[in-house]
Amino acid sequence: MKNYNQIHLTIIRLILFLKESHLNYSVKVIYYYNPWVVNYNIAEQKKYVEAIQINDFSLKYNPKNVNTFYNKVLCREFKKYQDAIIWYDKAIANYPQQKYILNGRGVCLYWLKKFEEAMIWFEKVIAIDPKDAFSIANKGLCLLSLNEFENANIWFDKALAINPQISLALRSKGECLIQFKQYKNAITWLDKALAIKDNDDQALNYKGCCLIKLKQYEDAITWLDKALAINPNEAAFLSNKGECLIKLNQYEAAITFFEKALTIDQNSVSSLNYKGECLIKLQKYKDAINCLDKALAIDPQYVSSLSNKGVTLMFLNKYRDAIPCFNNALAMDCMDISCLKNKGNLSSFVPIGLCLIKLNKFDEAINWFDKALAINPSDVSSLNNKVNVQDYQINMRTQSLGSIKHQLLILRRQFLCTIKDYVQLNKIFQRMQLLFSTKDQLLTLRMLLQLIIKVYVQ
């Protein structure tokens, strides 16, 4: 087959060379040697300029050749999706029921991030052929991009039931399972995808992500390095490796990878956030704030950056400024369906409580620790912090009451020395002291005695 294609390629190139001086002959040959198989092979080799040139020549003499239309679209599709759509529309005008043309138009819209529009075209293919596994998988891919993970998973299962060898569907199902936090199960599906296509950089990356979540950081780096060997300029891969290095406490090395990622994609919020996290660990708090502010300027609702900024402000003793960061993070977290199921996120409750302690708002702090314990009664951090605050309050109350009682003893002596009928009044005083036990009541008694002494002394 390879030699056959090479012969065709040689003939087509000869036609292009001779087309000006031997036009009639070249036209006859072009009809006999349909260039679509050869041209597809050229496109696969990423010789797009040459492929488009062959297509243009073929279209000049056979404007309704569907395969040539499709090949030209393939060449344009790799980078110029909007241009490709124009050619798809021309092909669809002549061949409105060709599945791969309709599917291809949907693919273009997908890469243009027009996911809902793309689904319309995949559904047209499915209406023609309900067992078109690739269009079914592509619809699942759109749903995945729209964060409809459960629906997406259903469509990937449908595609794989028809054709279990679609690596894209296998990998995408693994990605869905990551969203469900089923990391071991996700790895199983990613391995299936890699068994079919071992150079799938996205599958390699996602497997690395799963291993990060499973705290197998050294193994994760191995798989991320494989992804980076295929695509060294993918910002997400670089950022994920940086995340691994954070987990291994290699903060300066991690920053190097985040900075590489940011040279490729300066708007990578995750890279900015993780870089800020490294700077916190290196106690470079002002630099961390600058980095996190850049992340929040791009995405003001990015939960990790809000939380990390709050933590940084705590290190700078700016507790009042830190609380709104945690409150905003909590508000964003509660919009996430997984957090709603868990009634919130402990990562914001506890720091707010700690800030309130520093601001001497102990009862409010206990309230936040109680919220955390309502979600997770065994949360050690919340429980310890609540007990510490309560112990502190008891100690402060005991010290305060002890001081007041000491003052009352002095006042009692003054009172008894001032009043003539001191025996009777002493009994009254002792009875009052037994009844008055709280801090506020003892303070009231002290003020009363001071007033009585002042009146009698005068």
Structure confidence by residue, pLDDT tens digits, 403-420: 655 555 555 555 555 555
Q: Are 306 and 296 in contact (CB under 8 A)?
A: yes
> Which of 144, 74, 364 has the alpha carbon at shortest distance from 88?
74
Domains along the chain? 1-92 (1.25.40), 401-457 (no CATH)
Token pair for 284: 């470079």
Alpha carbon of 228 to those of 188, 253, 410: distances in Å? 21, 16, 79
Question: Is 80 exceeded by the pLDDT of residue 7?
Answer: no
Specify the pLDDT at position 150.
94
Distance between CA atoms of 92 and 40, rounded to whole angstroms? 19
Specify the pLDDT at position 376.
79
Q: Are 228 and 237 in contact (CB under 8 A)?
A: yes
Q: Higher model confidence: residue 247 or residue 87? A: 247
Q: Cα-flanking dihedrals φ and ψ of residue 98, to 5°?
A: -75, 115
At 85, is the pLDDT very low, low, confident or very high (cuts 50, 70, 90)?
A: confident
> Which of 168, 171, 202, 164 has the alpha carbon at shortest distance from 187?
171
Which DSSP string do the residues of 68-122 spell out, in sequence order? Answer: HHHHHHHHHHTT-HHHHHHHHHHHHHH-TT-HHHHHHHHHHHHHTT-HHHHHHHH
CB neighbourhood size of 125 (10 A): 25
Distance between CA atoms of 226 and 204, rounded to whole angstroms? 7
pLDDT tens track for 93-111: 888 898 988 998 998 899 8
Distance between CA atoms of 141 and 158, rounded to whole angstroms? 12
Q: Are 241 and 228 in contact (CB under 8 A)?
A: yes
Torsion of the alpha carbons at 159, 231, 267 and 80, rounded to the nearest 10: -70
Q: Are 240 and 209 in contact (CB under 8 A)?
A: yes
Token pair for 203: 């599958």
Distance between CA atoms of 97 and 125, rounded to whole angstroms? 8
Q: What is the DSSP letter of 336?
A: S
Specify the pLDDT at position 261.
96
153's CB contacts (< 8 A; 6+ apart) are 140, 173, 176, 177
Distance between CA atoms of 349 and 326, rounded to whole angstroms? 8
Helices (H), 197-250: 201-213, 217-230, 235-247
Q: Higher model confidence: residue 15 or residue 313? A: 313
Residue with tokens 């001071």: 450
Average confidence (pLDDT) over 124-143: 96
Token pair for 227: 């992804």
Residue with tokens 């305060």: 400
SS3 string of 42-64? HHHCCCHHHHHHHHHHHHHHCCC
Token pair for 333: 């977290």
Specify the pLDDT at position 443.
62
The span from the first CA to the last CA of the chain, in angstroms, equals: 121
Distance between CA atoms of 236 and 261, rounded to whole angstroms? 7
Q: Is 69 helix (H, G, I), strand (E, B) or coil?
A: helix
Q: Is 232 helix (H, G, I), strand (E, B) or coil?
A: coil
Question: Is 80 exceeded by the pLDDT of residue 318?
Answer: yes
Specify the pLDDT at position 59.
55
Average confidence (pLDDT) over 134-144: 96
Q: What is the largest CA-CA distance in the chain?
A: 139
Q: What is the DSSP letter of 342?
A: T
At 152, is the pLDDT very low, low, confident or very high (cuts 50, 70, 90)?
A: very high
Specify the pLDDT at position 363.
86
Most confident among 4-18, 295-309, 331-345 (mean pLDDT) = 295-309
202's CB contacts (< 8 A; 6+ apart) are 171, 227
Question: Which residue type does 402 have?
Answer: G
